[in-house]
Amino acid sequence: MGTVESVRPRRARPPFEAVRHFLPWCYVADDSLNYSFFLEDLMTVQASKRRRFLGHAALALAAPAIPTGAWAQTVLQRRLEWQSFKSTPQYASLLTGIRRMKANTNPADARSWTYWTNIHLNACPHSIPYFLAWHRGYLYYFERQLRAASGDTRLVLPYWDYYSYATLPAEFTNASSTNPLYVARRNTNVRQALTLAPFSSTLINFERGQANAFEPSLESAPHNPVHDIIGGVMATMQSPVDPIFWLHHANVDRLWVAWVGAGGGRRMPAKTSLYWSGIHTYTGALAMQRRSTYDTRTNLLYFYQNETMPTTVPLARKSTGEVFRVQARPNDTPASSAPFGAFRGTGPRSTGDSTFSIGGALAIGLDQRSISAHLPVSSEHWSAVQEIMRGNPASIPGSAKKFKSVQLVLDEVELAEEGRQGGYFYRVYLNFPSQDGAPGQQNSLLLGTLGAFQIHGASHHGSKARLRYPIPGALLRNPALRLGMASVSFVRVDGDNSPRGATLGIGEARLELSTEDKGS
């Protein structure tokens, strides 16, 4: 599944130099605001006193901007699906809370809507580990602030189950100037974004970097395409401006809960694992221990109305009244249907201290059509690929490095003006001829998705985007594949309302060997 990065060096995490005393509760300055949070993983002071004093407060509880007391959850609460939620008294409270937060125009004030949008803009970890867990803590803190703004201690964030209701709730599409749920969007139906792939019985691992991992699969789809198909501000890193963002991410969080609960060999890293050490950072002063986001019930004190995985996707209706099932699967729009463009190839070369390109294609422009590009690779470099796919480090002529993984890299990716607002995405396939060599026959490996949301995420600090799609070794061990030739296909998926014409450009698409082990 694709990872994204800026071509520039990434911004450093906010420093913690403002911590003044090695005490269980530490006050850290953030502009004019003071927060407190518990740094159990950074400090070792009087553990028994902490337990007596804090009880269940192993969370990073911030004050005064993040409310405590009556606004904090003290009992287990249930997050409802929107169709149930809107008939409760808390529906009016939700509208009140959103109106009051949007009316606050101070972006440095945690009581404002912009404050929470900026957290996502500046700190969200997309396409890297902890994507799901970071957002779990983010929603938790936002929910508490929304509850305080509403004045209703019983307000709990709802979720939108688009596997049952693929169309945005009508309450979000009413364009009345008094409706705080409305923003302009490209589409109001996300059926094209949906897939059952993350719920396959073969995805038994959780964390990014492992083979058959759930977290990168769920992020690749449906998470990213839901952002893309809705479009508008949802296709950007300022997506929390749209109130549907919070319901979308509550549903993503619910799908994680459902995956864990489904069993069948699916496994999370143990809570005692080093994977859960450290903290999630939201601002220079607001953080949460990673282990607090291991589940929803233990520390965060909530659960979902429905905690089962989806088994079907919604039915789309034709104008004639007929229905047909729409699901994003590799075979719905085969990569073989994407014609080849005349793109100039690139030869082998070093692309970094740990990477080496074995072949690529330059200046790929994408529009409403699907298209493929040849990736010329020499036989000696394919020998290295085959060795990696057998699970062994590989060498290439002229280099002493040992390469451990293969990835597709899309470099210098830019959005055209017409493509910036989303409403579409592309499925990205790596293709190989079949072993029998029959004309027109190929095997296609679905690597992930590409859309405005991912590109905005990789370039929102002002540089061009670079996206990486690790190629799991198991995919290329298929005996039906005939290595020695390869191509990449971009298969366009449109929403009900999508842009025409040029949408994005790719400076280079290339296959890279890496000395790092990128298994998922």
- The CA–CA distances, whole Å, from 478 to 297, 433, 434, 437, 451 equal 41, 12, 10, 15, 28
Q: Which of 488, 483, 464 is CA-nearest to residue 473?
A: 483
Helix then strand count (H, E) for the chain reads 11, 19
Q: How confident is the model at residue 389 (pLDDT cuts 50, 70, 90)?
A: confident
Question: What tokens appear for 198 in the block?
Answer: 């993350």
Q: Is the pLDDT of residue 509 over 70?
A: yes
Q: Is the pLDDT of residue 14 over 90?
A: no
Predicted confidence at residue 57, as pLDDT, reads 39
Q: Is the pLDDT of residue 478 over 70?
A: no
Could you read off the pLDDT of 145-194 as tens digits, one per residue?
Answer: 999 999 999 999 999 999 999 999 999 999 999 999 999 999 999 999 99
**Under 8 Å CB-to-CB from 321, ≥6 apart: which residues?**
none
Domain ranges of the chain: 23-304, 335-514
Mean per-residue pLDDT, 215-220:
96
**Under 8 Å CB-to-CB from 330, ≥6 apart: which residues?**
427, 429, 444, 446
Cis peptide before 393 (omega within 30 of 0): no
Q: Is the pLDDT of residue 459 over 70?
A: yes
Mapped onto helix, strand or coil, the DSSP state of residue 201 is coil
Could you read off the pLDDT of 50-93 as tens digits, one per residue?
Answer: 333 333 334 444 433 577 666 777 899 999 999 999 999 999 99
What's the CATH code, domain 23-304?
1.10.1280.10
How does the average pLDDT of the chain come out, rounded?
A: 83
Q: What residue spans of 282-389 are helical by DSSP H?
A: 379-389
Report the share of the chain in percent with pLDDT over 70: 78
Rg (CA), the chain: 24
Q: Which of 345, 372, 343 is CA-nearest to residue 357?
A: 345
Total Cβ atoms within 10 A of residue 71: 19
Predicted confidence at residue 141, as pLDDT, reads 97
| Rounded Cα–Cα distance for residues 495 and 123 (Å) | 29
Mapped onto helix, strand or coil, the DSSP state of residue 228 is helix
Crossing angle of helices 131-150 and 244-261, rounded to 10°: 130
Predicted confidence at residue 3, as pLDDT, reads 57
Total Cβ atoms within 10 A of residue 91: 16
Predicted confidence at residue 385, as pLDDT, reads 87
Secondary structure of 94-132 in the HEC alphabet? Answer: HHHHHHHHHHCCCCCCCCCHHHHHHHHHHHCCCCCCCHH
Question: What tokens appear for 329 in the block?
Answer: 């699967």
N- to C-terminal Cα distance for the chain?
7
* pTM of the complete model: 0.84
Mapped onto helix, strand or coil, the DSSP state of residue 442 is strand
Could you read off the pLDDT of 404-421 as tens digits, one per residue?
Answer: 999 999 999 999 999 999
Sole residue written with tokens 């808390």? 90
Predicted confidence at residue 485, as pLDDT, reads 73
Could you read off the pLDDT of 329-371 as tens digits, one per residue?
Answer: 433 456 667 999 999 999 999 999 999 999 999 999 999 999 9
Q: Give residue 236's identity as a one-letter amino acid code.
A: T
CATH for 335-514, options being 2.60.120, 1.10.3230, 3.10.580, 3.30.70:
2.60.120
